[in-house]
Amino acid sequence: MDMGKDCGARRVGRAGLFGILAAVLTCTGGSTASADEARKLNVVTTVGMVTDIVRVVAGEHAEVVGIIGEGVDPHLYRASRNDVAKLQDADVIFYSGLLLEGRMSDTLVRMARGGRKVFAVTEGIDAKRLIEPEGADGHPDPHVWMDVSLWSRAVETVAEALSSCDEANAAAYRANASRYRGELAELDSYVKKVIASIPTRQRVLVTAHDAFGYFGRAYGIEVRGIQGISTESEAGVADINRLVAFLVERDISAVFVESSVAEKNVRALVEGAAARGRTVRIGGTLLSDAMGASGTYEGTYIGMIDHNATLIARALGGEAPERGWRGKLAEQKDR
């Protein structure tokens, strides 16, 4: 495969250009970039969950820029002109795939055809482990990061892809991935434990859209979304009424909003239940398709999953430490 050679050749070109810029800076008395910095891979990613695992695996060997930010819905996101420029300049591009970034597909395909190295981090996941929802025309559910063991496989794919583009640092990429996957295995156990602590009858997760199918399967909690797998589909009055009846029948005490989806449908559930004499509260805001603020613990993949699992367990009567898996979650009144 000539992928490695190709990436290598392009990196030499970038390093050469950087060398010229550094020389100019020297003349004006500015600081110079080291040769190491000049050789860093320029990596562009889509959603935060992908950005974070690529940063962890790349470590100091790449500059990683994510283009879909905090609280932004990837199903509806269109690449801006500025994003396209970043993608065009990238040595390597990572996206989640399985049509999560539905409106960016054309752009990503064009980049791949134009010679960019474009990888879907979900491509190494065994197709048998993907959920195929009814009526989805054979399109698997893209929300695979909700099952930590599946996302751990994506970490391996990132390590292999970076290694193929930058053989000189392959050992570092593999070591970073291996260390991180060990941490993810521990996180996976924590999520299993706290979700299992929810009383059986309350072990139902009702959210704004169907982002938690993998979470439900991996951790043993029934899931219901008001909107479908993609937020492209609008929920109707009948969907809301059906869920209200379900909440009342099962005596479910809390439902959840999501940071990247409008709250109005979830509020309609709460009001619908109230009209039938039941109090259902909003258990908090889950991080479904976007992570928390960058620079915070919740703005990392591990923090996102910890936040969700801890919030869900506590809101539904289970047992979980207030500040989560390793005491790093921000204080929140909902938790």
Applying CB under 5 A, the residues found at the interface with Zn ion are 211, 289
How far apart are alpha carbons 215 and 211 in whole angstroms? 8
Strands of 81-238 (E only): list them.
Answer: 92-95, 117-120, 204-209, 222-227
By beta-carbon proximity to Zn ion, the closer residue of 289 and 306 is 289
Give me 188's structure tokens.
């996976």
By beta-carbon proximity to Zn ion, the closer residue of 173 and 219 is 219
- Smallest distance from the beta carbon of 1 to Zn ion, in angstroms? 33
By beta-carbon proximity to Zn ion, the closer residue of 211 and 254 is 211
Exposure string for 78-93, b = 16+ CB within 10 A, e = fewer: ebeeebeebbeebbbb
- Smallest distance from the beta carbon of 143 to Zn ion, in angstroms? 6
- Smallest distance from the beta carbon of 231 to Zn ion, in angstroms? 6
- Smallest distance from the beta carbon of 75 to Zn ion, in angstroms? 5
Note whether 265 and 240 are within 8 A (CB): yes
By beta-carbon proximity to Zn ion, the closer residue of 211 and 235 is 211
By beta-carbon proximity to Zn ion, the closer residue of 156 and 289 is 289
Beta bridge partners of 120: 95
Note whether 131 and 141 are within 8 A (CB): yes
- Smallest distance from the beta carbon of 299 to Zn ion, in angstroms? 18
- Smallest distance from the beta carbon of 230 to Zn ion, in angstroms? 6
By beta-carbon proximity to Zn ion, the closer residue of 108 and 211 is 211
Closest Cα to residue 172, out of 52, 46, 40? 40
Backbone region of residue 70 per phi and psi (left: phi > 0; alpha: psi in -120 to 50; beta: other values): beta
Give me 8's structure tokens.
């290598």
